[in-house]
Structure 1
């Protein structure tokens, strides 16, 4: 059941990972949001959040990027939008790091109006006068092994993706082992000896969870999961889209 009334207005900060590696996540996110009465547009900037520079120690380059992004994102907020971010590392940067390294009123304004993709939906569902469509007539797995990304836990918002998935009726099995990626650290060859055992431990825990479907918000962590298990995790918003019966891109109804 599509919700006709407008329940929110968001500017999506798509992130490099979604825009260039997993665009289907962004497309499914828009379809799920619009089904639930949330008007979507792109943020006034779709540039990199700067995390690769920050995590590499180039604070000068990061701060330059952050200052420009803050001005552009603040413009989106002043148009009446909340900012929604489908990747936890980038969401953490907007919520936490911009406040620390830019430190302006605009940085705080952006942080106060920035939400993780599932966080925003659960906020709607719990608020007075708004709710989510909970008629799931598509594919709903019996069990979901859900990996909680470190940068999502660090936002201290609770397990909103887990709560969102549970609305479908699926049983959620939590897996909270770090993937060993840690921003950019785990992608460097010199750190492989330390990062790979963590990724293998995550794979072992996912196998023990034995979910019908594996889900995770972080594309970087999901990449490690795929490398270790051969399974491609779904972003929680993709899982919700399939549960609504929204077909995967390229799939015929």
Structure 2
């Protein structure tokens, strides 16, 4: 048996070895049960074992696969688990689930419709570029769940008809960035390269514009890394390690050039930031991946780092009695850097209440048709918790989670830096066109 989640390990793709490791981990998780209220993987596992008189070895491959399918990769179990490395039991449940998906893909165990869904969700730059150019036609479709055309999409490519999908902007972030008139900064505090990934580039360029505007107001020179693509997360999460590592290597070459120029990398989507910080060094190990990971930051995290470095830095302050709800997205928590979006708003004088509950999206898991009902159940539970706060202003780091909250509550959710930009009285130049 190989207790490994390292894709370079010779037995990583050995299904017999994988099944033994699933049995070992499932026995330990069943004995602990601390994660009973996270994703559906754990209650599914516990119910299977409980009905077999506690005989963990009696789980069939199909039952093991049901546990794998219920995992949406939020990573919170790893954050909370007392048995992660360097503990002798070396549990890493999320990476074991990724290994299981990789074995399925390598052994061609995914059906035709699932592979079609994989392609649609993973080719984010192709799909994003096309949908952005046709945004006036695409947006009415993706923003209206349960329509006939969405049900046809679900049947053909497996994208849930129940979910509100993020809409596309009329202008790319990179186009706005190149068209803007940069603020003249005679004495830069720092230099940052904004890696927009597919979300900011095609769907939410306003977040990138807000980050750029706030950074430049604080004498942080901003630039764009050339030639980068999607971080590759969808390939990884569906188990296509070859495509993921190809994408990661390409991005690392370009991002490392940026770091060697003395710049830090800013990533505004928590899933993408997690992939660059934690997954690139695992799947493309070496000095390059480590160097890029060490210089990659969430925008709020980066501002708080600069505030600690330079006490003369002044964001200003506001006086307000309104309480803002900050949604702590799972992949923000999984980075173990703290809730810096919350801290940034508190630094400005905003009263912040934190709601930490999964949105049920987690990368692309919640958009797959087979996960639609479970995803909606989790989004509804999150929305119910937010609604109880009676807050009218909601912020969150994750654009996908924010879209799910909007779907449930009908309230536009902002990125914390976007709210900070408005509170600081800064204007985006040039203004972004609407969607």
Q: Same fold (TM over 0.5)?
A: yes
Structure-2 separation of matches of 1:119 and 1:62: 26
Q: Is 2:218–2:315's contact at 8 Å kept on the other side of the alignment?
A: no
Q: Is 1:29–1:237's contact at 8 Å kept on the other side of the alignment?
A: yes
Q: TM-score, normalised by structure 1?
A: 0.93
Structure-2 separation of matches of 1:212 and 1:231: 8
Find the counterpart in structure 1 of residue 269 from structure 2: 87
Gaps (5+ residues) in structure 1?
none
Offset, 1:56: 1.6
Q: TM-score, normalised by structure 2?
A: 0.55
Find the counterpart in structure 2 of residue 51 from structure 1: 233
Offset, 1:83: 0.6
Find the counterpart in structure 2 of residue 34 from structure 1: 216
Offset, 1:46: 3.2
Q: Is 2:300–2:417's contact at 8 Å kept on the other side of the alignment?
A: yes
Q: Give the structure with the larger strand fraction.
A: 1
Map 1:59-208 onto structure 2 (within 5 A). Answer: 59-127=241-309, 129-136=310-317, 142-208=322-388
Find the counterpart in structure 1 of residue 204 from structure 2: 22
Structure-2 separation of matches of 1:141 and 1:63: 48
Offset, 1:43: 1.6
Dislocated runs of 4+, deviation >6 Å: none
Q: Is 1:3–1:35's contact at 8 Å kept on the other side of the alignment?
A: no
Which has the larger displacement, 52-61 or 3-12?
3-12
Find the counterpart in structure 2 of residue 220 from structure 1: 400
**1:184–1:131 CA distance, 2 compared to 1 (3 A):** farther
Offset, 1:5: 3.7
Structure-1 separation of matches of 2:311 and 2:230: 32
Find the counterpart in structure 2 of residue 233 from structure 1: 413
May I ask how many residue pairs the two structures share in their alignment?
A: 248
Gaps (5+ residues) in structure 2?
1-183
**1:210–1:9 CA distance, 2 compared to 1 (3 A):** same
Which structure carries more relative contact order (alpha carbon 8 Å, separation 6+)? 1
Q: Is 1:5–1:37's contact at 8 Å kept on the other side of the alignment?
A: yes
Which has the larger displacement, 175-184 or 41-50?
41-50
**1:134–1:3 CA distance, 2 compared to 1 (3 A):** farther
When the two chains are superposed, the root-mean-square deviation of aligned CA atoms in Å is 1.9
**1:245–1:54 CA distance, 2 compared to 1 (3 A):** same
